[in-house]
Structure 1
Amino acid sequence: MGTSLWSSTATDLLTRTASADPTPGGGSVAALSGAFGIALLQMAVAVTDDPDLEQHAARLAALRAEVEPAADEDVAVFDALMAAYRLPRDDEGARATRTAAVTGATVAATDAPLRLAETLAAARALSFVLEPLVKRGIRSDVLAGRDLIEGAVRAAVRTADINLTALERTGADQAPAFRDRRDAVLAGLDPAPVPAGEGSGV
Structure 2
Amino acid sequence: MTQQDDSLWQHRLSDFRDAVAREPMPGCGATAVVSADLGLALVLKGLNLSQQHDASASRQALIEEGESLKTRLSPLAEEDVAAFEAFMAAVGRDREDDGRTRAIHEAADTAVEVPLKTAHLCDAALALAHQARDNIERQFMSDAIAGARLIHAALHGVLLNVEANAGRLGSDAARDRALHARQGLAQRADAVLATITTGALPQA
TM-score normalised by L of structure 1: 0.87
Match of 1:58 among 64, 86, 95: 64
The one-letter code of the counterpart of 1:11 is: S
2:90 matched to 1:84? yes
The one-letter code of the counterpart of 1:69 is: P
Runs of 4+ in 1 over 4 A off after TM superposition: none
The one-letter code of the counterpart of 1:165 is: G
SS of structure 1 residue aligned to 2:93? coil
- Residue of structure 1 equivalent to 2:3: none
Match of 1:157 among 153, 156, 159: 159
Could you tell me how far 1:67 is from its partner in structure 2?
A: 1.1
- Where do 5+ consecutive residues of structure 1 fail to align? none
State how 1:1-202 maps to structure 2 within 5 Å: 4-19=7-22, 21-49=23-51, 50-52=55-57, 53-90=59-96, 94-95=97-98, 97-167=99-169, 171-192=171-192, 194=195
Between 97-106 and 46-55, the greater mean CA deviation after superposition: 46-55
Could you tell me how far 1:51 is from its partner in structure 2?
A: 2.7
RMSD: 1.8
Q: Percent of aligned positions with the same letter in both sequences?
A: 27
Could you tell me how far 1:4 is from its partner in structure 2?
A: 1.7
SS of structure 2 residue aligned to 1:89? coil
Aligned 8 A contact 2:104 2:168 in 1: no
Size of the aligned set, in residue pairs, is: 188
TM-score normalised by L of structure 2: 0.86
Q: Equivalents in 2 of 1:148, 1:128: separation in Å?
A: 14
Q: Equivalents in 1 of 2:189, 2:73: separation in Å?
A: 18
Q: Equivalents in 2 of 1:14, 1:194: separation in Å?
A: 32
